[in-house]
Structure 1
Amino acid sequence: MRAPDRRRYADAGISLAELLVAMMVFSLLLTIVGGVFFSVNRNFAMSRSLDTNTKSASNGMNEISRVLRAATENPVRGQALPDSAFRSVGTETLVVYAYVNLASSSEQPIQVRFSVDGSRNLVEEIWPGIAQSGGYWTFPDPTSVAATTKRILASSVIAASSGVAPLFTYLGVSNTALSNAASNPRSIAAVQVSLTTGTTAAGDTSNVTLQNTVGLPNLPLSRAEL
């Protein structure tokens, strides 16, 4: 009897069932690898955004706190009471007089405005005081005279309308928010600064919020202990 030709079976290749199984396994592996790659990329992007937002918020908070701690009333010739340390206040802008020695070797008060521009950047503008006789100082109108120094402290500042706290909240001696801070700036005993940077998406985990209540030690107000 003739033996079967085994070469015919060796050259037969893989079956359709085997091909389908191989394709299913390959698709499964591709899905797993793609998911891992997407997850790593997403986590890396989130970590980078978080780091950027943290640095931005920290830079803005540090500078605002430094200037506010040096807030000082401005004596005016012929005026019984000095001008308030705050020339104007708002939820996203304030103008304050301060004795912060930035570049000059001599003591010189400055006028500083912190504000949020149309691109949601936190901007600092500085006007040096103009010396007058008798030790008095005057300052230009910040609404009509360009600042001597202007720089961006933080970017992507989120507005209070997106569900976060206002950038500036003004507190009285009892540590409660003042409703008349704009009309009575002399009553401001502290400023609560709440700076949130990131996106406007609610719950975005890359958003960063820093909050600090800055006391005003140079002003003649005795604030209650927290």
Structure 2
Amino acid sequence: MIQNCRNALFARVSRVRRDERGVTLSELIVTIALMTMLLAMVMTIFITFTRTFADERSATSNTAGATVAMNELTRVIRAGTPIPKGPSLPNDPVFSYAAANQIVLQAYLDTDAADPEPVKVEFLITSDRTLVERRWTAIKSGGLFTFQPAVASERTVVRQISNGTTPVFRYFNASNIELEPPAGGQLTAAQRNAVAAVKISMTVQTDPSGRAKTASIENTVGIPNLDLSRIGIDR
């Protein structure tokens, strides 16, 4: 269609060049109409291509963001470790807070260090659906660890986590039974002590128009440092 319009337009221009009498009003109107049609077709193709490219780029961004977030969550949770409080006291559990959109735990992340220290980490889904990571550094006294009260670092891991019906964090014991938070919204101390795995589910949509394909990712992360049998836990 575009080729036919272009040929007709060129033919009329060539005829005008050969005919010194110029063009009639009807010929001018037809020429303008053909040019308008050609311009409309070109603009339609350009807009369609631009929109498709933007949607594909947003879909790629969704996938990359979800992958980065899942890798960081998996790395930290898998390194979760109980912290000893003393010879006659029970260990601090891995999780000091556990809810559907927030998790706080202790973990040994720098295991290559000569004298590794634990770090306290919080992952929080904020009201604008942003995954934020906060960390607290350890204080060592008499061979035991506590944590600084002030936040040592804070960063945004990924934005625009969709507000779906599935919680971002779900908790399971060694028998693969889900530990559901009571009415208060967070696990009790007894439930936190029983957590053997965390199931992470998230869907990321960074495109404000919602046209781009979302990225949904799910993973069940065990905690090897608990020395619990993994039999029966989904992987």
Q: Same fold (TM over 0.5)?
A: yes
Q: 1:170 to 1:15 in 2, by over 3 A?
A: same
For residues 165-208 of structure 1, what are the alpha-carbon distances to aligned partners after superposition, in whole Å with 9 as ceiling and x for unaligned? 32211122233432147111122111111232224879643422
Q: 1:72 to 1:58 in 2, by over 3 A?
A: same
Task: Look up the SS of the partner of 2:171 in the other structure.
Answer: strand
Residue 24 of structure 2 aligns with which residue?
A: 14
Q: Aligned Cα RMSD in Å? A: 2.7
Q: 1:54 to 1:72 in 2, by over 3 A?
A: same
Q: 1:148 to 1:194 in 2, by over 3 A?
A: same
Q: 1:37 to 1:166 in 2, by over 3 A?
A: same
Task: Look up the SS of the partner of 2:93 in the other structure.
Answer: coil
Aligned counterparts of 2:112 and 2:101: Cα–Cα separation in 1: 27
Unaligned runs of 5+ in 2: 1-18
* 1:197 maps onto 2:230 in alignment: no
Q: 1:54 to 1:218 in 2, by over 3 A?
A: same
Do the aligned residues in 2 keep the contact of 1:164 with 1:196 (CA within 8 Å)? Answer: no
* 1:54 maps onto 2:59 in alignment: no
Residue 209 of structure 1: how far off its partner (Å):
2.0
Aligned counterparts of 2:176 and 2:152: Cα–Cα separation in 1: 34
Q: 1:157 to 1:27 in 2, by over 3 A?
A: same
Q: 1:176 to 1:199 in 2, by over 3 A?
A: farther
Task: Look up the SS of the partner of 1:38 in the other structure.
Answer: helix
* 1:152 maps onto 2:156 in alignment: yes
Structural mapping, 1:85-104, within 5 Å: 85-101=94-110
Between the two proteins, what is the percent identity of the paired residues? Answer: 32
Give the TM-score normalised by the residue count of structure 2: 0.76
Task: Look up the SS of the partner of 2:92 in the other structure.
Answer: coil
* Bigger share in helix: 2
Aligned counterparts of 1:204 and 1:65: Cα–Cα separation in 2: 29
